[in-house]
Structure 1
Amino acid sequence: MQRDLLDGVVAFTTVARRRSFTVAAADLGVTPAAVSHAVKQLEARLGVVLFARTTREVGLTEAGRRYLQGAQPAVEAMEAATVSARSLGEGPAGTVRLTTSRLALRMLLAPVITDFSRAYPDVRLEVVVDDASISIIEEGFDVGVRMGEMIAPDMVAVRVSQPFRFCVVGAPALLQRWGRPEHPRDLKAIPCLNVLQTTRRNNYRWEFEEDGREFEVAVDSAISVNDFDFLLKSAIDGLGLTYQPEPLAMPHVMTGRLERVLDPYLAGPTAWHLYYPSRLGASAPLRAFVEFMRGRLRVPGRA
């Protein structure tokens, strides 16, 4: 591949993601004029216009959207190959600052952090557990882990877990005493245990779906705690229904300590994602961490 073509493809995919020549230039460490020149050369080579430019915004043309579908995977594969090749020589060294929610730490990261540290002993991980949605740029983090729908659209998001859903579970004794809810609106008549959103000082609304329509229910919570494990234990003790990720709840359902309710109304799946500002501006330690996490996802049976 000729150098000018490669430069054009990289510039194009970066502008397409950032929707700005200026921001893309900052990501790539070049001037906006250099990015514009590279894109114009690519457009001339292809014989099509890739961007619809106005004074206020940059959008993709139909040709641009089609080209992005083919070019983006190639750029990602090239970056992954670079990380893989570097791992055979001198390993990356430095620090990766990571922000994660406590639920992501519990479900995903705890074993991964240990394995990554063994594989990359010269990379130091600084992990801050915070359930709030924060700006990793403003707070000085390299990467974050959150559910996909919580990530800002201007971030690079990489799925690193299998999809999972949230379900409603309760102890058999509780359901025998209060009855099984037939519809999410019935939750208002049954004791519930809910996650406290510490940043908003209110309880999490349980999400459901009916006839293709998503809706939320604000339950009356007997206990509100910002810890899913504590709520799960309280549900096993019969204190109320709780809204839990299936991977955490199912072992207790299989043993009979908990039972599922309202399954026909469960919302669609979510997944854990890594997110960070720019692929091309990522440090060697960060690229190694991202590729390590993606590799874990490709291993059968791992989430």
Structure 2
Amino acid sequence: MSTNHPFDGLSEFLALAKRLSVRQAAHDLGKTPGAVSQSLQRLEQRLGVSLFQRTTRRMALTEAGAELLARVEPAAHAIVSGLEDAAQSAMEPSGTLRLLVERLALPHVLEPVLPVFRQAWPNLRLDITVSNRHDDFVSEGYDAGISIGSYIAQDMIAVRIAKPFNWAVFGSPDYFRRKGRPRAVGDLVTHECIVFRRPEKGDIYRWEFLENGVAVRFDPAGAITVNDGELMRSLAVLGQGLIYSSTFHTSRELAAGMLEPALLDCSPGRDGLFLYFPKSARNQPKLRAFIEICAQVLNR
């Protein structure tokens, strides 16, 4: 069984076809003239045909050699070009950056970041999927995702891209005037709570607190159940009940005075929004470029 590789001798053949000189072809390839001649002989033996006419003074392609050159040379140029492109892509961002992004990151991360990123790298393509389901991150071929830190798998690298935030109860000023403000987790049983059903799992989201150093979970009850965070916050602004959310999700409503926090001192801990990706992707130039722009824009 032959152990020859189909490409064996082709680089020598192409160099000889270009130079029509064993000595000059050997110089181009960084080999000895004898090594080049032997490679050509093995190629001709394998093909069963002479590729060059040789005399003591000159070389010329045979008809078979000219036909082989016409077929092989364009492919060789394509291979060289492909290798150069691959090497270039290892140095600067190129191709398509595929992101899996939670909806809450759109106004706080993507809207401010994308214009700057596109201006910096106009030839880099973006493929963005907005979803709260990140189960198929690896199998779907995403380069990176944006999610709340506590939801990210342990084997991922996570880079914080937003300031830490706290989980708490929120209501409108009008609601608190009418119903009062809960001072302890137990007070919530007397309040109207807007229930959130997680769209990605279909279960009711339980409210979590840390009261006197003890973890406490509360099952909210109320006349309204929703599966959309934006709608939930809008209903709270309208005074329809209390919601469980974070200072990050409600930052715009808090800044405008449309919502106020309660039980903030019972927050279960500080969380954050992170860009995450597998270890195998950490050296991708396109991903490094996105991380740098996020740091530049979001840390202002």
* Normalised-by-shorter TM-score class: 0.5 to 0.7
* Offset of residue 161 of structure 1: 1.2
Give, as a single letter, the amino acid of the residue that structure 2 aligns with 1:262.
L
- 1:205 matched to which residue of 2? 206
Change (3 A) 1:224 1:105: farther
Give, as a single letter, the amino acid of the residue that structure 1 aligns with 2:285.
A
More helix by share: 1
Superposition map of 1:1-303 within 5 A: 91-253=92-254, 255-278=256-279, 282-299=283-300
CA distance in structure 1 between the aligned counterparts of 2:104 and 2:229, rounded to whole angstroms? 7
For structure 1, which segment, 269-278 or 218-227, has the greater mean C-alpha deviation from structure 2 after superposition? 218-227
* Offset of residue 210 of structure 1: 1.6
Change (3 A) 1:126 1:221: farther
- Seq. identity, %: 35
CA distance in structure 1 between the aligned counterparts of 2:224 and 2:245, rounded to whole angstroms? 15
Is there any run of 5+ residues in structure 2 with no aligned partner, and where? Answer: 1-90
* Offset of residue 102 of structure 1: 0.6
SS at match of 1:138: coil
SS at match of 1:113: helix
CA RMSD of aligned residues (A): 2.6
- 2:27 matched to which residue of 1? none
Change (3 A) 1:91 1:254: closer
TM-score if structure 2 supplies the norm length? 0.64
Deviations 1:244-298 (A, max 9, x none): 3214435544554333222221222111111111256642212211222233344
Deviations 1:154-206 (A, max 9, x none): 11111111111123121233233333222123223211123321122122122
Tell me how many residue pairs correspond in the alignment: 213
SS at match of 1:219: coil
For structure 1, which segment, 286-295 or 233-242, has the greater mean C-alpha deviation from structure 2 after superposition? 286-295
Change (3 A) 1:257 1:161: closer
* Offset of residue 116 of structure 1: 1.0
CA distance in structure 2 between the aligned counterparts of 1:147 and 1:174, rounded to whole angstroms? 29
- 2:63 matched to which residue of 1? none
TM-score if structure 1 supplies the norm length? 0.63
Instruction: Name which one, 1 or 2, has greater alpha-carbon Rg.
Output: 2
Change (3 A) 1:280 1:196: closer
* Offset of residue 121 of structure 1: 0.7
CA distance in structure 1 between the aligned counterparts of 2:110 and 2:217, rounded to whole angstroms? 28
